[in-house]
Amino acid sequence: MGKWIINHGLSAAILVVWMAINIFLFVYYYFIYDLGERFFYTRHILGSALAWARAPAAVLNFNCMLILLPVCRNLLSLVRGSLMCCGRSARKQLDQNLTFHKLVAYMIGLMTAVHTIAHLFNMEWYNNSRQGLYDDLSTILSNETNLNPVPSASTTPTIVAFTTIAGLTGVIITLALILIITSSMEVIRRNYYELFWYTHHLFIIFFIGLVIHGVGRIVRGQVPDDPHNVSHCKDQPLAWGKIAECPIPHFKGGFPKTWMWVIAPMILYLFERILRFIRYLQPVRYRKIVMRPSKVLELQLVKDGFRMEVGQYVFLNCPTISQLEWHPFTMTSAPEEDFFSVHIRSVGDWTQGLIDVLEQLPEGAEGPKIAVDGPFGTASEDVFDYDVSMLIGCGIGVTPFASILKSVWYKFKESTPKLRTRKIYFYWLCRETHAFEWFIDILQALETEMEERGMANFLTYKLYLTGFDQSHIDYENPRFDQDTDIITGLKQKTHYCRPMWDREFQQIRKENPTSVVGTFLCGPEGIAKTLEKKCMKFSDVDPQKTQFYFNKENF
């Protein structure tokens, strides 16, 4: 249990608080509408569906207030900076921003479904009441008061849904939400990113409809201080308006409050987009364009006033390809350099389009306009805050660690750096041999620099070729005794396998018996789950001994 708390304690506490607020809001508003005297007559027509419609609405307001905050990246970067004096666990929560964004979205989807289904029943019962299919009390409430939003007995719930403010906006925001959620599925987001990107911007329509939705005021309760006494008059509806004690009751809908919940995050997000537009207008110059193996493009860019930290990422926009699309890329340069660089692998229409445009440029020609938003912080910023750092990159996922290793090289090149980090373990997993060419020059330079300074033990790196066949092994075996690896030219030989993580963690724990080890991954979810389990398994219960903290890059 103690090991689990090391990596998940604060995250679990935040999740519990969030869920507790959701449950409280649901239960609180459920009983207001299920037991409150103001809604006695409304419940007489609608039954328990009234409470089942209104309780989810309160939860929706709360979560719609939260949904935009995790994607306000400038706000998160500001908060991250203000938390530098706090513990790593507090800053680590900011790296779960997209996970929390998804959880909130799931809650919005669930509550929307409950809210919508309940209101479908409500409209059917309102319509039946208007047609006199229920008892005298229901008929009188529908025909002699303004309680029933269905205007006449000749209409239908479908017509009401498409001709009232509440109904029409409800249809629009529900359709928008369905498209947003379905297009956010992992398979669509990874294979059809542009579809995900454009569909996700239906959130603008969703929020506009959400704010307007309550203006219809279709759920009505008895006016406060109404002289009509429910307890005395509910059993004699035929006497309403005929005796002084029982005048016709008056009803009105509640004041729409959704805008109060969402106005602040909407303003914050608006400032976020304004800042992005300002950055879009700032000029960016190409320093170098390099086409790496396996369709990987390296861009070295220069922008006035640009400042970065290791492992950070930026969003890029190329109007020649798309005026609206912005795509995230981890920077592979070091803060010590006078430029910043990104490595872009062809994985979709936008990236392939950018590669095609730059490949077709005449010799010496300037590249198309490119805009940069950022930089934004990630978990990798904390890499030098640990006694020991364990870096695991998968394929192009090596990019944040390229930035870190470059920075280490500069730090050692200039002087003996004053780093808390005493040791770095670097693991790079690639499917094909050409991928190693992307950053092998960094490892070669570090290898030489560490040896010259007598600090070869500072960096331990292991390269793994996971997409190999027997021909690779047959070629390697006769040359295994050579001083350098036949693939990379490094002294460390490439492994034709996947890492045996249990053995690696055991070795690190043995070599660092009293250290705090930061484990950083930029790679697929499957490996993330494995490494997270290993961090818990090999962390010692005694806080004075080896502790592993898992960190994953998220975009």
Residues with Cβ within 8 Å of residue 276, at least 6 apart in sequence: 315, 326, 373
- Distances 164 to 169, 350, 417, 423 between C-alpha atoms, Å: 8, 41, 68, 66
Q: Of 433, 446, 434, whose CA–CA distance to 401 is shortest?
A: 446
**Which pLDDT belongs to residue 42?**
92
CB 131 within 8 A of CB 156: no
**Which pLDDT belongs to residue 461?**
83
Average pLDDT score over residue span 126-130: 90
Contacts within 8 Å (CB) and 24+ apart, 351-359: 351/297, 351/327, 353/318, 353/321, 353/322, 354/297, 354/318, 354/321, 355/291, 355/295, 355/297, 357/318, 357/320, 357/321, 358/289, 358/291, 358/297, 359/291
Give percent of the chain above pLDDT 70: 88
In angstroms, what is the C-alpha Rg of the chain? 31
Burial class (CB in 10 A: 0-12, 13-18, 19+), 439: buried
pLDDT tier for residue 479 given thresholds of 50, 70 and 90: very low
**Which pLDDT belongs to residue 179?**
94
The domain ranges of the chain are 2-82+91-155+163-170+211-274, 284-376, 379-552
Cα torsion angle, 412, 418, 424, 429, sign: negative
**Average pLDDT of the chain?**
84
CB 467 within 8 A of CB 460: no
Place of tokens 């998968």: 394
**Which pLDDT belongs to residue 262?**
93
Lowest mean pLDDT among 115-129, 418-432, 477-491: 477-491
Per-residue pLDDT tens over the stretch 380-394 = 888 888 889 999 988
| Spatial separation of the C-alpha atoms in residues 405 and 403, rounded to whole Å | 6
Kindly tell me if the per-residue pLDDT of 161 is higher than 60: yes
| Spatial separation of the C-alpha atoms in residues 59 and 530, rounded to whole Å | 34
- Residue 75 one-letter amino acid: L
CB 67 within 8 A of CB 108: yes
Query: In this structure, how many other beta carbons lie within 10 angstroms of the beta carbon of residue 178?
Result: 14
CB 173 within 8 A of CB 205: yes
| Spatial separation of the C-alpha atoms in residues 48 and 296, rounded to whole Å | 59
3-state secondary structure of 8: helix
CB 368 within 8 A of CB 357: yes
Average pLDDT score over residue span 332-353: 87
Sheet strand arrangement including 388-394: 459-465, 423-430, 388-394, 516-522, 547-552
pLDDT tier for residue 480 given thresholds of 50, 70 and 90: very low
Q: Of 60, 167, 38, whose CA–CA distance to 109 is shortest?
A: 60
Kindly tell me if the per-residue pLDDT of 251 is higher than 70: yes
pTM: 0.84
Task: Find out whether the peptide bond into 375 is cis, omega within 30 degrees of 0.
Answer: yes
Kindly tell me if the per-residue pLDDT of 73 is higher than 90: no
Buried b / exposed e over 323-333, threshold 16 CB at 10 Å, is eebbbebbbbb
Q: Out of 2.40.30.10, 2.60.120.10, 3.40.190.10, 3.30.930.10, select the CATH number for domain 284-376.
A: 2.40.30.10
Average pLDDT score over residue span 269-275: 91
Q: Of 271, 214, 205, whose CA–CA distance to 57 is shortest?
A: 214
Per-residue pLDDT tens over the stretch 300-332 = 999 998 988 888 899 999 999 988 888 999 898
Buried b / exposed e over 378-413, threshold 16 CB at 10 Å, is bbbbbbbbbbbbbbbbbbbbbbbbbbbbbbbbebbe
pLDDT tier for residue 478 given thresholds of 50, 70 and 90: very low
Average pLDDT score over residue span 224-236: 88
Kindly tell me if the per-residue pLDDT of 197 is higher than 80: yes
Residues with Cβ within 8 Å of residue 310, at least 6 apart in sequence: 334, 335, 380, 381, 383, 384, 400, 403, 404, 407
Residues with Cβ within 8 Å of residue 278, at least 6 apart in sequence: none
Give percent of the chain above pLDDT 90: 30
What is the CATH number assigned to the segment(s) 379-552?
A: 3.40.50.80
Q: Of 535, 496, 531, 499, whose CA–CA distance to 517 is shortest?
A: 535
Q: Which residues pair with 429 in a beta bridge?
A: 394, 464
Q: What angle do CA 502, 508, 511 make, to 5 degrees?
A: 140
| Spatial separation of the C-alpha atoms in residues 387 and 424, rounded to whole Å | 9
**Which pLDDT belongs to residue 7?**
62
pLDDT tier for residue 85 given thresholds of 50, 70 and 90: low
Query: In this structure, how many other beta carbons lie within 10 angstroms of the beta carbon of residue 539?
Result: 25
| Spatial separation of the C-alpha atoms in residues 518 and 90, rounded to whole Å | 15
Lowest mean pLDDT among 94-98, 111-115, 329-333, 348-352: 94-98
Kindly tell me if the per-residue pLDDT of 375 is higher than 80: yes
Kindly tell me if the per-residue pLDDT of 188 is higher than 80: yes
